Structure 1
Amino acid sequence: MQLKHKRVLVTGADGFIGSHLTEHLVHLGADVRAFVYYNSNNSWGWLDDSDEHVRKSIKVVAGDIRDPFGVKEAMRDCDVVLHLAALIAIPYSYHSPATYVETNVNGTLNVVQAARDLGIEKVVHTSTSEVYGTARFVPITEEHPLQGQSPYSATKIGADQIAQSYFLSFDTPVATIRPFNTYGPRQSARAVIPTIISQIAAGAKEVRLGATHPTRDFNFVRDTVRGFVAIAESEKTVGEVINVSSNYEISIGETAELIAERMGRDVSFVADDNRLRPSNSEVERLWGANDKARRLTGWVPQYADREGFARGLSETIDWFSDPSNLRRYKTGIYNI
């Protein structure tokens, strides 16, 4: 399957990854329908900043992923659905876990049930590396046990299982993409890389962080977007769960030092207890294998290893350092 000329719905199109994906699909020649979260300001989220060609090329549908009727109407007459709409902030999931169940689990149920009813050709459901919890072995393959170490990750495990159950029970053509630690322009400051960059760019001499010893497998947003397309287009991915990762591990502390070095700033890093996860909830190690993605789709990361990570960081730093972008972020406030 080629997505060019296909009618593609992107849920969560107004968000960080979703907006990049929507723009990429337009440039591929897909007929894109963007499902954004309804609001009284008629904001399209990050799509408001897309270039005129993108904004004129897409059909925007405002709604709520928790509403089965609106979701089904948005999906009507579409060929492919790329389902990204979710609540993703881990600290906020400690505060309001029920909203995560409603959005992540019930929202996914609404998508796959509508896909079954409407005969959608392909659904790509978005998972997260957080479902693995602290690595029991590395690199983490898709066979790694699932561990719900936060309400967020527990709801994503539930959503993944709902999606897979529709493939097993009803032959609904669902594939699950499992991205590792995506970063890049437009990301919320609740994520570690934007919070480091935005504090430094705003002139902070002391950068406030949570735990710095855990390791992550950071995946630049362009690679994640390419992963969505590769999984959607491959006939081999139906019924499969597929990691999209850089296969490169680095600690948060080392990441912070690398960012400061590339920004040319002499800063100190200060532990902030408010930013720490509960000890049993912290995911200590993430490092993902990407062999399955390569085998089934031909996808390989273009921002892999330390050199690729440094290139991705530079692009991210450049975006956040633009005053027109930085002013969107409240750098002096911890964003849960």
Structure 2
Amino acid sequence: MTHALVTGGAGFIGSHVAAGLLERGHTVTVLDVLDPYYDLRIKEQNLERCREIGGDRFRFVEGSVTDEELVRSLLSSHDVEIVYHQAAQAGVRTSVENPKKPHRINTTGLLTLLMAADEFGVRRFVNASSSSVYGEVEYLPYDEDHQTVPQSPYGVTKLAGEHYCRLWDEIYDLPTVSLRYFTVYGPRMRPNMAITNFTSRCVNGDPPVIYGDGKQTRDFTYIDDVVDANLTLLDTDDCDGEVVNVGSTRTITIEELATHVIDETGADVGLEYADPKEADARHTHADVSKACDLIDYEPSTGIREGVSQFVDWYRDNRDWYEPMVLESQTVRSSA
């Protein structure tokens, strides 16, 4: 069995990757700084789920990927074979408001990990990137050769991270893969995402609020498909040195998404519209043919099925999850 280090493993995607590894019998160390970017109770739930699955095969270390001494200690003394680097300062809008905020984690933290991974013989480094690297649309769907013109500081840091991974693969012979995620959603996701906000408002009898005209499109990727893509990299070296899209292959307008949430919740509400947010992409759409060729990636959950599953999960976990969603809405509306 493999010992994996999952950075950002208390977060949404990271905790699902960690849980997937544990369910397969692997050993997992999670490194997470527990940044209160959103309510820490969600992260505590994520960690508890990993503990329940993994038992003594799971270890949590609180700390930052920018802490060079800590990172080197984890990689030098615990026989880590693969790093899943999920830690990041997320948020396109947050990065526009404070451009310096994502740099330290997304760039300096990545470099700290790459250097230590090379020094201590990690056999593969999987980097979580983002469709935000694309920016301006030249054509759709985006393939990996599409121009990269990020429209936010967050996107710039993610693109820089991809290039650093490429260099470490080419110059230092550290096998790296960068996975470009397209709007990942599912149970325990961040409370300030569109699907959580739409669901929360609808189950409380309020109309979902759409920023802009609602005609913008998104390629929403269900969390289980993202986990499958990551875990496949345990057993193949076909992606080493590559950048690979991880999306659903299908798109939906935000207006259609909100209407579908209304239908799934049975809410008797209409739609509300507000001013568009700065730096939000107009369209995203993934060409995943490269992932299909290299790792047999086949996204299995469409947006309508995924939203139905999320609404069911939301209702089952409403008591503890909803207060945090409502709080995020209050913060957003007062910003």
Report the TM-score, using the length of structure 2 for normalisation: 0.91
Partner of 1:53: 52
1:272, 1:12 → 2: CA distance? 32
Residues 69-84 of structure 1 mapped to structure 2, 5 A cutoff: 69-76=69-76, 77-84=79-86
Q: Secondary structure at the match of 1:154?
A: helix
Partner of 1:317: 311
Give the 3 Å change call, closer, same or farther, for CA 125–326 of structure 1 in structure 2: same
Aligned pair 1:333/2:310, yes or no?
no
Contact 2:130 2:182 in 1 (8 A): yes
Question: Which amino acid in structure 2 is aligned with residue 333 of structure 1?
Answer: T
Alpha-carbon distance, 1:277 to partner: 2.2
1:151, 1:52 → 2: CA distance? 35
Identity of aligned residues (%): 26
Q: Secondary structure at the match of 2:83?
A: strand
Q: 1:19 aligns with which of 6, 15, 18?
A: 15
Partner of 1:208: 209
How far does the alpha carbon of each residue in 1:60-100 deviate from its partner, in whole angstroms, 9 at most, with x for none? 11111122222222233200000000011111112222120
1:156, 1:12 → 2: CA distance? 15
Partner of 1:286: 284
Alpha-carbon distance, 1:296 to partner: 0.7
1:217, 1:333 → 2: CA distance? 27
RMSD: 2.1
Alpha-carbon distance, 1:334 to partner: 4.1
Contact 2:219 2:250 in 1 (8 A): yes
1:109, 1:163 → 2: CA distance? 9
Q: 1:135 aligns with which of 134, 137, 140?
A: 137
Q: 1:119 aligns with which of 118, 121, 126?
A: 121
Contact 1:15 1:46 in 2 (8 A): no
Question: Which amino acid in structure 2 is aligned with residue 23 of structure 1?
Answer: A
Q: Which runs of 5+ in 2 are unaligned?
A: none
2:95, 2:11 → 1: CA distance? 18
Runs of 4+ in 1 over 3 A off after TM superposition: 42-46
Question: Which amino acid in structure 2 is aligned with residue 206 of structure 1?
Answer: P
Contact 1:6 1:30 in 2 (8 A): yes
Residues 76-115 of structure 1 mapped to structure 2, 5 A cutoff: 76=76, 77-115=79-117
How far does the alpha carbon of each residue in 1:28-72 deviate from its partner, in whole angstroms, 9 at most, with x for none? 1111111121579x9853424416532523011111112222222
How far does the alpha carbon of each residue in 1:250-289 deviate from its partner, in whole angstroms, 9 at most, with x for none? 111111111111111122222233xx322xx231111101
Give the 3 Å change call, closer, same or farther, for CA 22–51 of structure 1 in structure 2: closer
2:238, 2:290 → 1: CA distance? 11
Contact 2:82 2:122 in 1 (8 A): yes
Question: Which amino acid in structure 2 is aligned with residue 316 of structure 1?
Answer: F
Q: Secondary structure at the match of 1:288?
A: coil
Contact 1:177 1:231 in 2 (8 A): no
Residues 223-302 of structure 1 mapped to structure 2, 5 A cutoff: 223-273=225-275, 276-278=276-278, 281-302=279-300
Q: Which runs of 5+ in 1 are unaligned?
A: none
Question: Which amino acid in structure 2 is aligned with residue 320 of structure 1?
Answer: Y
Q: 1:192 aligns with which of 191, 194, 219?
A: 194
1:232, 1:221 → 2: CA distance? 18
Give the 3 Å change call, closer, same or farther, for CA 297–329 of structure 1 in structure 2: same
Q: Secondary structure at the match of 1:157?
A: helix
Alpha-carbon distance, 1:205 to partner: 2.2
How far does the alpha carbon of each residue in 1:162-192 deviate from its partner, in whole angstroms, 9 at most, with x for none? 1111112211111111111101111113221
Give the 3 Å change call, closer, same or farther, for CA 171–185 of structure 1 in structure 2: same
Contact 2:22 2:50 in 1 (8 A): no
Total equivalences in the alignment? 323
Q: Secondary structure at the match of 2:46?
A: helix
1:319, 1:142 → 2: CA distance? 33
Partner of 1:176: 178
1:236, 1:111 → 2: CA distance? 22
1:118, 1:30 → 2: CA distance? 20
Partner of 1:153: 155
Give the 3 Å change call, closer, same or farther, for CA 253–30 of structure 1 in structure 2: same
